[in-house]
Amino acid sequence: MIPRMPFGATGHDSSRVIFGAAALGSVSKSDADRTLDLLLEHGVNHIDVAASYGDAELRIASWLQRNPGTFFVATKTGERSYRGAREEIRRSLDRLGVDRVDSIQLHNLVDVIEWDIALSADGALEAAIEAREEGLVRFIGVTGHGLSVPEMHRRSLDRFPFDSVLAPYNYVQMQDPRYAETLESLAAVCAERRVALQTIKSLARRRWDGREHTAATWYEPLREQEDVDLAVHWVLGRPDAFLLTTGDVEILPRLLAAAERFESRPSDEQMRDLAARAEAEPLFV
């Protein structure tokens, strides 16, 4: 079984691997149900979904009905205005078939102008706080992609006490000194304030750059089990980090198997060899 640890200050002991339900955006119900069985087999008890992930919320709805109380459920709104976010939060509850979710996250809040709109009066954050006060959500988080994410999350945490953050994190991306510096600074703030640190892109190899897409992800992922093991173990080697799974149900079994085998972080030499062998490149430059 995949180990668990406290998810920030929420009181929830989350599996260190969180299911990234973007993988369910365009799969059949039968494929989704097979995925549920796999998650239960490995002890995953936390699902991350979003209003923008195609049919993912609808696919999860039947899981939640059959397994009440099993999963910590986080969804996301990409709306920036109060009105838009208020409507999207309630639509997500309808699609998920629940009266409340555990967490609502402001999705990919990176752009400076959007950030200011979302966190100001009549912004999305007001809708999230209102939903919490009404008992529709329990916690509020913020997510993002790109090089500026760690610094933007630090700004967000200075504006509001979010319960969780989410940012890219893998060996190759962390070889960018500036990104590594800002990520470590964010992690320090999270540790001090008991904010859950979620990470994405653990298996990112490189952008497709014109190559045929052979996975559901927008980037080319690592596939070989040996490579997957190294990449997953490197992320889990950071004791304060949660790992969100890659958005492809075909790769999911390899990632979960790797997580169950985790004992220690691979050496820098092993990771340099992996990066060279896989011709890996940072997704964000």
Res 29 pLDDT > 90: no
pTM greater than 0.85 = yes
- pLDDT number for residue 186: 98
Q: Which fold has domain 4-278?
A: TIM Barrel (3.20.20)
Give the three-class secondary structure for 100: coil
Identify each DSSP E strand in the chain by its residue range: 4-6, 13-15, 17-20, 46-48, 72-77, 101-106, 137-143, 164-168, 196-200, 204-207, 219-221, 241-244
Task: Please compute the mean of the pLDDT values over residues 106-112 and round it to a whole number.
Answer: 97
Taking the domains of the chain in order of start, what are their residue ranges? 4-278
* Amino acid at the residue 75: T
Q: How much of the chain, in percent, has pLDDT values that exceed 70? A: 100
Task: Please compute the mean of the pLDDT values over residues 45-70 and round it to a whole number.
Answer: 95
- pLDDT number for residue 141: 98
Task: Please compute the mean of the pLDDT values over residues 46-58 and round it to a whole number.
Answer: 96
- pLDDT number for residue 238: 98
Task: Please compute the mean of the pLDDT values over residues 203-227 and round it to a whole number.
Answer: 95
Residue 137: beta bridge partners?
A: 101
Q: How confident is the model at residue 183 (pLDDT cuts 50, 70, 90)?
A: very high
